Structure 1
Amino acid sequence: MTERSDPRMHRDTSDTEPMVGNVKVTRDDWLNMAMAALIRDGVEGVKIQAMGAALGVSRSSFYWYFKSRQDLLDALLDHWRKTNTAALVRMAERPAQTITEAVGNVFRCVINPALFDTRLDFAMRDWARRSRDVRAVLAASDAQRLAALKAMFEKFGYPPLEATARARILYYMQIGYDDAKLNEPMETRNKLMPAYLVGFTGKTPSAREVADLRDYANALERADRSVDGST
């Protein structure tokens, strides 16, 4: 899939916080700018002065919404938990008729940047290498995701130990898959999809399940191309 333009660099016009006095940007503007800096430069790149300059406002605008830089960093962690982790858990718990359909729901999550921002996930893991506190938050989030995936397998009759193993295979394979940055076309990923489902579940997906997943992936690909202006 081609990479979308970064949504963090655009104003969130749905922000419900009122604009007071000469405040020119919203809390979401600061948070989005901080996420962009974190992804691009790591946590060291999240600098109030630099972000203020990019937003065209003074430091006083920042302190309208955040008590300190640490307050902003805490908000980034909270946002990540409420987006990436919550989305993966929600999709693992989504109703499904078969385990292959359930794993397909997880695929839908991890290939859709509107649900799961892979770049933000990697930025958090890099940050965790530098901070014991962030490492603890990451460990708790990983445990929550794995528990949801294990419960997903158990719901379809897999014994607990096998459910744990399959959850780990699915989760850690996906992390490694994205980290490898294969940059393979969606056509290649679609061809492998039925075999992946067999590998993760030990079950053969139905033709309808495979077709629905491919349609979903191809729709995302077309949306990416439309945003990028490519053909």
Structure 2
Amino acid sequence: MGEMAQRLSKQDWLIHGFDVLRSEGHTGLKADRMVKALGVSRGSFYWHFDDIKSFHAALIAAWRVQINEQVIAQLSQLPDAKDQIKALMVRVFTMSRPLERGIRIWAGVDPLVFQTLADVDGIRQSYAQALLQTIGLPPAIAQSRAQMMMWAYVGHALSTVDVDDPEACAADFTRILTTQVET
């Protein structure tokens, strides 16, 4: 048991936390339950985290980087704003819904998670709005369409219905979002 505990890294604990969040939700994010599930001593957990609150803070911070900042950095590598929008919509319709759903439910009971989620949603919407403005949409139209993108994202995250053809759905949604406004 001690040998295993030595090998668990902070990242291992965070990965396990994401797995728990996907399968059980935030109520499963308890040190004793996770220690037992991993078959390690409590010392393994407390080697990396002062307490369960610090684990929760590290988990939500890792989610923010992994889900938000890394995705935007990857999409920004695409040369064309329209391609970025389509790739973003493909991600919307193929994302890990249990994790996003778990974060959103957790945000309803934890102020830190709520604030992090609000920040992330704001960054996501600003990114989408900037892309839409890059293709020539006026700021007010880009803002409302970016809001629609967020609603699609949140709606899909909380939905129990799968998208049959994410590529086709993303292409159609992209066409609708990027259609120029008649003046």
The verdict on a shared fold, with TM-score over 0.5 as the criterion, is yes
| Cα distance change of structure 1 residues 74 and 26 upon mapping to structure 2, 3 Å threshold | same
SS of 1:67's equivalent?
coil
1:101 to 83, 88, 98: 83
Cα offset for 1:127? 0.6
Alignment-mate amino acid for residue 174 of structure 1? Y
Query: How far apart, in 2, do the equivalents of 1:95 and 1:184 lie?
Result: 24
2:10 maps to what in 1?
Answer: 27
1:174 to 153, 159, 174: 153
Identity of aligned residues (%): 23
Query: How far apart, in 1, do the equivalents of 2:64 and 2:48 lie?
Result: 20
Matches within 5 A, 1:45-194: 45-91=28-74, 93-97=76-80, 99-111=81-93, 113=95, 117-186=96-165, 189-194=166-171
**Gapped regions of structure 2 (runs ≥ 5):** none
Asked whether the equivalents of residues 24 and 57 of structure 1 are also in contact (C-alpha less than 8 Å), the reply is: no
Q: After superposing the two structures, state which structure 1 stretch, 131-140 or 23-32, moved more.
A: 23-32
Asked whether the equivalents of residues 80 and 120 of structure 1 are also in contact (C-alpha less than 8 Å), the reply is: no
**Gapped regions of structure 1 (runs ≥ 5):** 1-18, 204-231
| Cα distance change of structure 1 residues 193 and 137 upon mapping to structure 2, 3 Å threshold | closer
1:210 maps to what in 2?
Answer: none
Alignment-mate amino acid for residue 107 of structure 1? M
SS of 1:126's equivalent?
helix
Cα offset for 1:100? 3.4
Asked whether the equivalents of residues 98 and 157 of structure 2 are also in contact (C-alpha less than 8 Å), the reply is: no
Asked whether the equivalents of residues 146 and 168 of structure 1 are also in contact (C-alpha less than 8 Å), the reply is: yes
| Higher-helix-fraction structure | 2
2:172 maps to what in 1?
Answer: 195
2:19 maps to what in 1?
Answer: 36
TM normalised by structure 2 equals 0.84
Q: Which runs of 4+ in 1 moved over 6 A?
A: 19-22
Aligned length: 179
Cα offset for 1:79? 0.7
TM normalised by structure 1 equals 0.68
Cα offset for 1:132? 2.1
Cα offset for 1:86? 1.3
Cα offset for 1:38? 1.9
| Cα distance change of structure 1 residues 197 and 56 upon mapping to structure 2, 3 Å threshold | same
| Cα distance change of structure 1 residues 184 and 89 upon mapping to structure 2, 3 Å threshold | closer
Cα offset for 1:197? 2.2
